[in-house]
Structure 1
Amino acid sequence: MIRVEDLPAGHPGRRLLTGRTPFFVAPTEPRCSYCAYVPRSWTPDARMPVLVAVHGTGRNVGALREGLIPFADRHDLIVVTPLFPVGIDDPDDVHNYKTIDAHGIRFDLVLLEILEQVRVRWNARVDTVLLCGHSGGGQFAHRFLYLHPDRLAAVAVNAPGTVTLLDHSLTWPAGIGDTQRRFGITVDLAAVARVPVLLVIGGDDDGRADLAAMGEPGRSRPEELDRLAVSLARHGTTVRRAEVPGVGHDAAGTQPPIIGFFDDLLAGYAEFADPASPHLAP
């Protein structure tokens, strides 16, 4: 794999591999892929941090990346947007990635392999990253937090339809009682609690009909988010809440508080801005 720093400064590959990149297949799972936005300020010594943004059921990866470009340019940060496609081994399966494993694929491990490729190609700092996800991406994001809290600096969870509670009496994906058997990972509650979390919802995003159609009658997205907030707070996580008035189930409309949350984090956590910090060392 070509590293950008190995290309001469005027090489056209540098133009291709900075700014809005093409899609790359995931290293060991070519049915999945990712694209990135790399600020033009990139240099081999920049060792830029990374924000991972995970799509919802509609897989609108292009718009998701586009909305984060001003934030990336402002902070000299790489945005990575994975694509977990519909129809892997089941032409009608739109949910696969949301609960982390499906059809023999561990989507959390696919993301970790993507991040390793990002580290090598762009000399990025990926030991801990920012993570956000809308709807189905919000489901993935908080479940990834449970399994890999050591890889995250902060998480923004936006309007998930269903949630996993930090409850050992329930099995996955309702709770975490069987994660050792299922994933080979016992959830480290203290490590999860060290990661700040933002929970976001649109003020007009009820979602009750959508959830009922998926077998979750009687629940709404705000209620699911409340359940997640209580579970996280009970185990010591610092949880921030944001409701965006007049917005429904819309990724772009609920993005401003997520950007504000990460702006605050980057302003307040010197170790995230310091390439020499052991907290983010490769």
Structure 2
Amino acid sequence: MRRLLTVILGVAIGLLVGNSAIHAAPALDPRWQTAGATHETSLVDRLTRSEKAPLLFVPDSVTTQPAAPATLVIVLPGLGNDGRDLAQEFVSAAEEHRWLLLAPSPDYDPIANETLTLADLRVDESLVALADQVLAQSRFHLAPAIDVVGFSRGAQSAHRFALRHPERVAALATLSAGTYTIPTSSEPYPLGVGDFALWNHQRPFDAAAMRRVRVFVGVGGADANPADVARAWDAVGGTTRLERATRFAQALQQLGVPSRFESYPGIGHAFVPAMRDDTVAWFVGRP
């Protein structure tokens, strides 16, 4: 066993001095653990677990003061990406503001005979179950309402999570989504909320509850290639990510949702530090 640990440590050190340092470091960081784990994870666990397992970042600021209030933040990556990579962007803020970062790596693509809508609902249900598990098992004083941030495909799931469960969400940051469900549209879900109850366990869209969610909408000012997005949303949302984000933000304003819209000049379809900084500011209550 000692020899095995020596080999593993040697491999880890080799990773840290090579090009994989950014990815290896979180695996060695004891603040990261498998989401829902009921015990502290060992070094071997952290090095051998699946990269796609949902992970939870627990900052030292929370561990050292477990009775003080803290917030659960769900971080949703783009299609095919690792949730930990996007969550790593928020680690410093998590330490400062006492956030637990829940970083799943959802399988967004349809499986078997699923439609895109059913796949989206499957991801939503998995997020609900995962958040409930973390909240129930946590020994920390977590607020019942959570914050959610998503980029690209993750932003699509993030804002629909808030639309379906507004009572669960305090603040939302949706960044560069390819499609939006327009909450003022009578088009069928997921274009609008016309038949929302059909896809939400017979619960209609709760506009009053949504008005208690603070929403930040961000998109690159050059994220404007019509070939990058699905055509089914053209009539209700526009033909590019930039136009669709703009229309979604306008719909939120029309609905009376406290919100902010920001485009980033010269930025295409990419997550940039300014998006992170604006998200952090929004989550801590700075306009």
Instruction: Provide closer, same or farther for how the CA distance between residues 178 and 215 of structure 1 changes in structure 2, counting only shifts above 3 A.
Output: closer
Equivalent of 2:87 in 65, 70, 82: 65
**Deviations along 1:167-220, whole A, 9 cap, x unmatched?**
4621100111112122222111111112111110112211322116x6556701
State whether residues 146 and 187 of structure 1, in contact with CA within 8 Å, keep that contact through their aligned partners in structure 2.
Answer: yes
- Report the CA distance shift for 1:87/1:211 in structure 2 as closer, same or farther (over 3 A): closer
Based on CA coordinates, which of the two structures has the bigger radius of gyration?
A: 2
Residue 131 (structure 2) pairs with residue 115 (structure 1): yes
8 A contact 1:16–1:22 mirrored in 2: no
Counterparts of 1:1-282 in structure 2 under 5 Å? 18-22=30-34, 33-41=53-61, 42-43=63-64, 44-85=66-107, 89-90=111-112, 99=117, 101-102=118-119, 106-124=122-140, 125-167=142-184, 169-183=186-200, 184-211=202-229, 219-253=239-273, 254-265=275-286
Structure 2: gaps spanning 5 or more residues: 1-26, 38-51
**Runs of 4+ more than 4 Å apart:** 15-18, 214-218
State whether residues 115 and 126 of structure 1, in contact with CA within 8 Å, keep that contact through their aligned partners in structure 2: no
Provide TM-score, normalisation by structure 2.
Answer: 0.73
The structure-2 alpha-carbon separation of the partners of 1:23 and 1:113, relative to structure 1 and needing over 3 Å to count, comes to: closer
**How many Å separate the matches in 1 of 2:250 and 2:278?**
20
1:139 match: secondary structure: helix
Q: Deviations along 1:33-66, whole A, 9 cap, x unmatched?
A: 4111101231442452111111111323221111
Q: Is the 8 A contact 1:193 1:236 kept in 2?
A: yes
Residues 154/146 of structure 1: CA separation in 2 closer, same or farther (3 Å cut): same
Distance 1:18 1:116, change over 3 A: farther
Q: Which amino acid counterpart does residue 133 of structure 2 have in structure 1?
A: Q
| CA distance in 1 between partners of 2:186 and 2:232 (Å) | 21
Q: Higher helix proportion, which one?
A: 2
Contact (CA 8 Å) 2:150, 2:174: kept in 1 or not?
yes
C-alpha distance in 1 between matches for 2:216 and 2:207 = 17
Q: Percent identity?
A: 28
Cα distance in 2 between the residues matched to 1:47 and 1:16: 27
* Normalised TM-score (structure 1): 0.75
Task: Please report the RMSD computed on the Cα atoms of aligned residues, expressed in angstroms.
Answer: 2.9
The answer as to whether partners of 2:222 and 2:242 remain within 8 angstroms in 1 is: no
- 8 Å contact from structure 2 (residues 55, 102) kept in 1: yes
